[in-house]
Amino acid sequence: MKIFSDFFQKKQPELSTDQKQKVLSDMGQRLKKLVPDEKSIGEPFWGLMEIKGGQSTGNYLVLPNETGVSMPLFISKYHAEAFLAHRPLPDLKLYAVRGLTQEQIRFLSKTAEDTKKVLFMIFLNQEEGTQWKVRQIDGKMLKAEFVWD
């Protein structure tokens, strides 16, 4: 990730063991906030997270596209659960619906902007027996339209 590579390329002052442990602990706490759990509420989106042993692995469901991957995002928990229940892919039972906070959406949009390999598929709705209405956007548009200041 660009954020970490920039940090480590600069000459950093020597830290004591206690300072290093504090930095690692702080980084761990910040990174934990980037992984939605079962209590997270979509602000405004819901996504699908890989689950192992009842815990999120931190991996989002992504689908291959021509330039990289597309990440499904849903405007409601109901829609995300409906998608998960009706997809004919056997590995979807390894995923669970999680709400994405603004902090998580901000991180995803920045990552997508930096890599130019991630698009977002916003599943708007589905009426019984019809196709999903899907809007595909890049990280810049995700940030412009859905990240609150």
User: pLDDT class for 28, splitting at 50, 70, 90?
Assistant: very low
Domain that holds residue 69: 37-146
Q: Over range 15-34, report the average pLDDT.
A: 52
Tell me, yes or no, whether 17 lies in a domain.
no
Tell me, yes or no, whether 142 lies in a domain.
yes
pTM: 0.71
DSSP 101: -
The CATH number of the domain holding residue 105 is: 3.40.1350
Q: 135, 138, 134, 137: which is closest to 110 by C-alpha? A: 138
Tell me, yes or no, whether 80 lies in a domain.
yes
If one counts the domains in the chain, the total is 1
Residue 90 has pLDDT above 70, yes or no: no
**pLDDT tens-digit readout, 114-128:** 988 889 999 887 666
**How far apart are the C-alpha atoms of 56 and 66, rounded to whole Å?**
28
Joined tokens for residue 116? 């130019």
Tell me, yes or no, whether 21 lies in a domain.
no
